[in-house]
Structure formats: C-alpha cells, structure tokens
Structure 1
Amino acid sequence: MTGWTRHDGTAVALPRDNIDTDQLIPARFMSASRAEGYGQFLLRDLREGDPGFPLDRFPQASILLAGRNFGCGSSREAAVYALVDAGIRCVIAPSFGDIFAANAVNNGLLPARVAETPAMMQALAGGTAPASIDLKASQIEINGTTLTFDLAPAWRTKLINGWDDIDLTRAHLDEIRSYRNQRHERQRWSWPAPQDPQS
C-alpha cells in the first residue's frame, strides 16, 4: 500500500445516515475475487434503485461527504475494498463504525471525522466541488471552505507511510528488542531453560 500526505480530487455528497457495510457491498458479491475489483459492487442496491445516484453521475469523485454513522454494521473489510476499488480516497462524516474506520486506515482510505456539516451538504447538493486533503494538517478544503478533521496520531502515521498494523509494530523493533534483552537480564528465572542438545 502506498502512503500519502495530500490528495487533490473531487468531492461529492451522499446525504444519508447509517450507511452500513451490507449497503456498501451486499453479501452476495463477497464471493467474487478481489482481483476482479470490488468497485463495481459499491452501494449496488442503492444505485440500482436511483438513476440519479451521485456516484453514477460523478464517477470521477474521490472524496465522499456522507452522513452520521458511516460504515456501521458488520466488520466486513470488503466494504472498504469496494470504496478503494471505486477510487474513493476519503470519506468525510460526523461519525463512523469503529471497525470500518480501522479497516479503512489499514487500506489507505481516510475516515475523516468532522462536525456536522449541513451547510457543506447543501453546497454539494446535486453536484461536485474541487477538494484537497492535507493529512499532516488534518484539514480538508472543499470549494474554498476548510474543515478540520479528527484522526488518531497512529492512524495518521499509518496513512502517511502506507502501513498496516504489522508495519506499525515493526517500526518499534528496536524498542521491542531492547525490552526483551533487559527483561532477560533482570528476570532470567522467567525464561525457559536452555535445551541440552545431547538429551
């Protein structure tokens, strides 16, 4: 996964609360190979029932402004795959499902938590706007308006470096080795006795 610090793209609004992971990718599509791309399944049921669906009208959009509790429901990581494979780099919402947000970061997708944004939703109603994201500054600019988003420092580090949880742990290998060696010196009794190769 490639890390990033800034993204310039197009924002589109999806003014719905409680979009769950089963809506993001219905379960019947999860047997498909990821190699085929999950973007074609993103929000399939909502899109089929709405000929004016925003992501169909503006397929170039890479930033999604959504309602509260985005990504709630089951823990399926495929929901994030569908967004990423469809070209979405950031979802902006007042709140997210916890597991969805963690999965998003591990796949390079920014879950940008912001305050309620009815004015921004109204500004994007029926269209799109140019937008830019600055990960280091925790800021998003949409059509000249700047929003500040909340992001845990560890998540920012993972997104900037393109890391998952294992990569983040490996970044502390020196400290882990040092702790192991110091504990071995202080508490030798707690370590297994060396095996006699002759036994």
Structure 2
Amino acid sequence: MEKFVRVKGVAAPLPLANVDTDMIIPARYMKALTRTGLGRHLFQELRFDDADRERASFVLNRPACRDARILVADRNFGCGSSREHAVWALTDFGIRCVIAPSFGDIFSGNARKNGLLLIRLSETLCDHLRREIALAQHAAIEVDLAAQRIRLASGETIAFDVDTDDRHILMEGLDDITRTLRHADAIARFEAAIESLMTIP
C-alpha cells in the first residue's frame, strides 16, 4: 500500500450529502477481479449520461478538476452497502484524500485498508474550504498528514485530527497483510507450539 505522508494537488468540491457507495461505483461495474480500471466508472451516473457522454456540469469533468487528488464532500459520504470497490474506484481515479463532515462506517474501514485518507471537518469548515477552493480557481492545496494540517493556496492552514492508529497505518503504508507479516516470527512460534502439542502421544 502506498504511504501517505502529504499530498499536494487539486481539490474538487462535491457539496452533495449522503453519497452512497452505489453512487461512487454502481454494482454493475464490480465484476472485475482487480482494482485497476475502476476509476473510469467513478461516479458513473453523475459523470456520464445514458449515452456515456460526459456531463459538463459535473465537477470531475471540468478541466481544472480532471486530475483532482482531493475531494471535499458533504456529510455521510460513503454510506450504504459494503463494497471495497468504492474505495478502489476513488484511488484508481487518483483521489488520495476525501474531506467531509462524516463518513459511512464500513467505507471508513475500507479506506484505511487501502491508503485513502479520510478527514472529518465540520460542515462549516467544509463549506469554507469549498468556497476557498473556488476563489483560488482550484489552485493546488496540500494535505499534510504528518503535521495534520491542510494548507490552502491563500496560505491559510486548517488543522485536523486523525485516529492515531489510522495515521500510523497510512503513513507507514501498512495494509492488513503487511501488518500481519510483521508478526511472522510470533505466528511461526505459535504454529510450532500447536504442532508439538498435537504430536504428543
């Protein structure tokens, strides 16, 4: 998993509450066995019409936001059914961080496991951040996980808090397998002890 220390890039405002996982990636695009290529269908129904033509009004189709690395969303982002593909679609598109007042619980767990930083800010601060992004004409902002600060193009900084364990996992790039392998010696000793007990006559 790619480490997250700091990311600087375009932030796309998405002032839409209750964006569920089906809006992030519709179920019909979840047949793939790999994570690659899912970004093409991120927000499929919002980005494209029934003829698969881009909707010019959607933020990620605007020239300034096509390469967005950060998404400034609204409350309850990632609610709905459990699907890791929603996080995979975001990261495959290039999104490394989502800022919102609140997130779906299962989505939050999937984000942590896949290197996607979620930042919880109040609705007031999210509104302020979206306004500042627009005023700066989508100039790059920086999300610094080490310092737990967001730096805007204007020079303003916004502090944020992240769970200590989540911060460590993201900064070290530790997915579930990597964290397990760090205890390989202890696991081997346990397995050897169990095997010896099973061979006692």
Farther-moved stretch of structure 1 (4-13 vs 123-132)? 123-132
Of 32-41 and 77-86, more deviation after overlay is shown by 32-41
Alignment of 1:79-158 (within 5 A): 79-116=86-123, 117=125, 118-125=127-134, 127-143=137-153, 144-158=155-169
Larger Rg: 1
Q: TM-score, with normalisation over the residues of structure 1?
A: 0.83
- After the TM superposition, which of the residue ranges 46-55 and 94-103 deviates more from structure 2? 46-55
Q: 1:37 to 1:171 in 2, by over 3 A?
A: same
Q: Deviations over 1:143-165 (max 9, x none)?
A: 22222222111111111111123
Q: How does 1:174-193 map to 2 (within 5 A)?
A: 192=197
**C-alpha displacement of 1:172:** 5.3
Q: Percent sequence identity over matched residues? A: 46
Question: Which structure is higher in strand share?
Answer: 1
TM-score by length of 2: 0.82
Alignment coverage as a number of residue pairs: 188
How far has the Cα of 1:44 moved from its partner?
0.5
Question: What CA distance in whole angstroms lies between the structure 1 residues aligned with 2:105 and 2:59?
Answer: 25
1:188 corresponds to which residue? none
Gaps of 5+ in 2: 50-54
Amino acid at match of 2:116: L
Query: Per-residue deviation at 1:135?
Result: 1.0
Give the aligned partner of residue 27 of structure 1. Answer: 27
In structure 1, list runs of 5 or more residues that go unmatched. Answer: 185-190
